[in-house]
Homo-oligomer: A and B are copies of this chain.
Amino acid sequence: MDAVFSALCKHGYADLTMQSIADEFPKSKSLLHYHYDSKEDLIVAFMEQLLEGFLDEFDEDSDVDPLDQLVRMAESVVVGKGDGPDDVHMALLGLRAQAPYDEAIREQLVHNDQHIRERIADIVRAGIEQGQFREDVDPDQFAVLFRSAIEGAQSHDVILGEESPTQTALESIKQLLLERLLVDGETVEGSVA
C-alpha cells in the first residue's frame, strides 16, 4: 500500500500503471501481480486501508471526549498532517474525480462515505449520552452536514493552494458547526482541553 501511495503521489491517477506501482514496491513484482490483477484492485485496497486508518483514529468508544474527537477529525480532514497541501488529500482529489467514470472506485468511495458518516453520527450519539451535546440534534443529519463541510474545506485547501481560506474554514467549523452541538453556554474553546 505504501507503493500505491508513492506511485499515486508521483504520477496521479490518470498516469498510474501497474508498472509505476511495481517500481515503488521493494519486494518481488510477481508477488504484486499474484495478489492484484489491476491497478484498480490496488487502488480499491488502498482506499480500504485509508478507511481503516481513519476509523481507528476516530472511535466513539475511545477515552477522548466526543467534542475533542470531532475537533481532531476536522483538523485532520481539513488541514492534514503537515504544512501545505497534504499528499493523501491530493491523491483523494484525483480519485474522487475519477468516480463518475470508474465503478470500482465509486463503489469503494460509497462504502467509505457510509462508514465515515456512521462513525461521525456514533460520536455525536456518544456526546448526547454523556450530556456534552444537546439532545435535540439529529446525529445522522448532523453527520451529513459535518462531512460536507470538512470535505469541502479539504478540497478547497488542495485546489486553491495558498489562496485557500483554510484556517477560516477550520475556525468556522469549530465555532459555527461544533458549538451548535454543545449544551447552552458552552464554547468549543472552553471545552477542548
For the complex formed by this chain, how many copies does it contain in all? Answer: 2
Q: A149-B145, A151-B156 are in contact. Are A163 and B110 (CB under 8 A)?
A: yes
Judged by a CB distance under 8 angstroms, whether A125 is at the interface is no
Given known A-B contacts A149-B148, A165-B117, A141 and B94 have beta carbons under 8 A apart:
no
Report the minimum CB–CB distance from A63 to chain B (whole Å): 28
Interface size of A in residues (CB-CB distance below 8 Å) = 46
A160 contacts B by Cβ under 8 Å? yes
Contact B97 A85 (CB under 8 A): no
For chain A, residues 41 to 93, give those with C-beta under 8 angstroms from any C-beta of chain B: 85, 90, 93
Whether A177 touches B99, Cβ cut-off 8 Å, given contacts A110-B160, A151-B152, A155-B151, is no
A residues sitting closer than 8 Å to B (CB atoms) are: 12, 14, 85, 90, 93-94, 96-97, 99-101, 106, 109-110, 113-114, 117, 140-142, 144-145, 147-153, 155-156, 158-161, 163, 165, 168-169, 171-173, 175-177, 180
